[in-house]
Chain A
Amino acid sequence: MTATDDTMASEAGTGAADAAPPEGVTVLADLRSHLRKSKAGISGIIICSLFALVAILGPWLPLIKDPTKQSLPDRLTPPVGWGGTWAHPLGTDQLGRDILARLIDGARISLLVSVTAVIIAAILGTVLGLVAGYIGGRIDTLIVSAADVQMAFPGVLAGLILVAAFGPSVWLVIIVVAISSWMVFTRVGRNLVLTLKTSLFVEASELSGTPSSRVMWRHLLPNLVSSLITLCVLELAAAILAESAFAFLGFGVQPPRSSWGLMIQQGRNYVTGDGWWIVTFAGLAIAIVVLGVNLLSLWLQSFNDVAEREQIILERPGA
């Protein structure tokens, strides 16, 4: 039917071609059958759902202690297996707070920041990409050069200057992560539009006099959805890592709220002595969640295996 349908036809065979039945249904069915064959996909989905569940349900989970409750006599209790007790399964930090509870609390910040940032970047970037690709001309040149400049000025640098100017805050981190990822969506959106623009059905609807904005929405956006989901997942991994880096530098969430990156910052003085578990478990939490997201994105990529998208993942500079 179109160029994107070809690209969507994966190894497993997305047969969304000529007959064009309800497209979403076939894609979903194929997705499910493809998932059954992929260990990476299944583990990715399990990790990601656990992460989301814990982050959302955090405070209402049973048996979880108050993440902010200090208890100096209990400070630096080692985890179970290293001399600790089940009262604090993962031990306590330098102020005697329960590490498991703080990890669960930190999941909320990670989820909030990364998901919000990716949504902002995806909307902003895609709209710019669609506009650039569809309208072309000077506006296209302008948007493309803006993306190029952004490539040369990755998010962390922008983050440093913004934090210096406005002081640390969670919203700033969200903005910084979003501006370091919008151009990825712009590029993909624009390329897809350019491919589709020349394909027959857009030409046909132009001939029959459908207004151009409707052409864009009716035909182009559905074709973008699959690649956008893949990209979002990918950018989510980068966003979680970026959030943790900013929190670690002390530029994100401020005490007494907790975040995985901040826990590592606060626990770092105990790395060389008695308290290796603070940094270890906080980092492990980040690594496992990012791994889950990466596995999910690996599987999505193998599903709609588009070389160009892979290139973008690998080639993008920045945190």
Chain B
Amino acid sequence: MLRWLARRIIAAALVVFVVTSLVFVVTHVFTDPATVSLPLEASEEHRAQRRAALGIDRPLGVQYWDFVSGLVVGDLGESFWQNQPASKLVLERLPATLKLVAGATAVTVLLAAPMGMLAAWWERRFPDHAVLGFSMASISAPPFWIGYLLIIVFAVQLGWVPTFGSRGFASLILPSFAIGLASAGRLAQMTRRGIVEELRKPYAVTALSRGFSRSYTIVHHTFRNVASGFVTMTGWELTRMFTGYTVVIEVVFAWPGVGRLAVQAIEGRDLILVQAAVVVLATLVVVTNLLVDIARRMIDPRVELA
């Protein structure tokens, strides 16, 4: 187990390294933070000044070494838009993003598991079709639009929850649903299919033949066996959230998270800050995948030690 864990961690670190190196190639080889930060009509002199200030006049190899050694100690460069260390800015916004992802994950799991079981229990009957309808609708609608619809209905028309910003628990509800509905739609279908497949397996047939009811068998036998798939899928949904949904939804709800910071940094032509936000989000994706693998091993003792 420990050796397996060590191998997985090294592999994950390697992926982070490759991804950040790719980011560096884009931000320093194809262009550079100084060029991006200045308007097209800026004078050559002005450009040279900015380059020197950012240390971009040095050879690429030196810059790359700086970048990598900075990464190791958590130094992601200086944001010239805010005149502060980029890592500090990103880390300040990180808790808000994590809170949002946690809320969305809760919505996802709490909707998907019961819906999937219900659909499997009533296979090819009305509840099954209804859940499929929900899934198709939720994965087809763009999440930012769902966000606005939720605002129109629940914040503007009904006035139940605040519209924008992040004040207290109530303001977390709408963005969590805006993100979680699509994930729940996908996950519910996967759960349903998993359970239906499991119900045909010999061990489930054994349980039914011993007189356990269909509902008992679904909840106590098959769901446990689809749990490792469920966790993996939830992990995939988490990575979708970190990389796509949060960026858009944070913009919709003016949520002070890392995704919105990245968008603001793009508008502020601050390449260093965008780079920092992207590196942090990519690392979160890799860490999520690692945690999913560990969770799967804990649920299912048969998962190979490979």
Indicate, yes or no, whether A interacts with B: yes
State the A residues within 8 Å of B (CB).
148-149, 152-157, 160-166, 237, 241, 244-245, 248-249, 251, 261, 264, 268, 271-272, 276, 279-280, 282-283, 286-288, 290-291, 294-295, 298, 310, 314-319
* Chain B residues within 8 Å of A, Cβ to Cβ: 15, 18-19, 22-23, 26-27, 30-31, 36, 136-137, 139-145, 148-149, 151-152, 155-156, 163, 186, 189-190, 193, 232-233, 236, 239-240, 243-245, 247-248, 251-252, 262-263, 265-266, 269-271, 274-275, 277-278, 281-282, 285-286, 289
Asked if residues A153 and B19 are in contact (CB atoms below 8 Å), the reply is yes
| Cβ B141 vs Cβ A152 within 8 A | no
| Whole-angstrom distance between the Cβ of B16 and the nearest chain A Cβ | 8
Residue of A nearest to B251 (CB): A249
Q: Write 8 A-B pairs (CB below 8 A) sorted by A numbering.
A: A152-B19, A154-B285, A157-B285, A160-B247, A165-B31, A237-B140, A295-B136, A314-B190
B145 near A264 with CB under 8 A, answer yes
The secondary structure that dominates the B interface is helix
Query: A291-B137, A317-B239, A318-B243 known; A261 and B142 CB under 8 Å?
Result: yes
- Decide: B139 and A294 in contact? CB cutoff 8 A: yes
- Given contacts A152-B289, A163-B266, A283-B141, are A318 and B136 in contact (CB under 8 A)? no
B142 touches A318 (CB 8 A): no
Question: In the assembled complex, which residues on chain B have CB atoms less than 8 Å from the CB atom of A241?
Answer: 142
Specify which chain A residues have a CB less than 8 angstroms from the CB of B23 in the assembled complex. Answer: 161
With a CB–CB cut-off of 8 A, which chain A residues contact B19? Answer: 149, 152-153
Are A160 and B15 neighbours in the complex by a CB distance under 8 Å?
A: no
Nearest CB on A from B141, distance (A): 4
**Chain A nearest Cβ from B31, distance in angstroms:** 5
Residues of A with C-beta under 8 A to B244: 154-156, 245, 318-319
Contact A314 B233 (CB under 8 A): yes
Cβ of A231 to closest chain B Cβ, rounded Å: 16
Q: Give the docked Cα–Cα distance between A298 and B135 (Å).
A: 12
Q: Which of A155, A271, A295 sits near B151, CB closer than 8 Å?
A: A271
- A156, A162, A276, A286: which contacts B26 (Cβ < 8 A)? A162
Other-chain residue from B145, B189, B269 in contact with A283 (beta carbon distance below 8 A): B145
Chain A nearest CB: distance from B238 CB in Å? 8
Shortest CB-to-CB span from A244 to chain B, Å, is 5
B-chain residues with CB within 8 Å of residue A152 when the two chains form the complex: 15, 19, 239, 282, 285-286, 289
Instruction: Pick the contact of A298: B136, B142, B186, B263 (CB < 8 A).
Output: B136
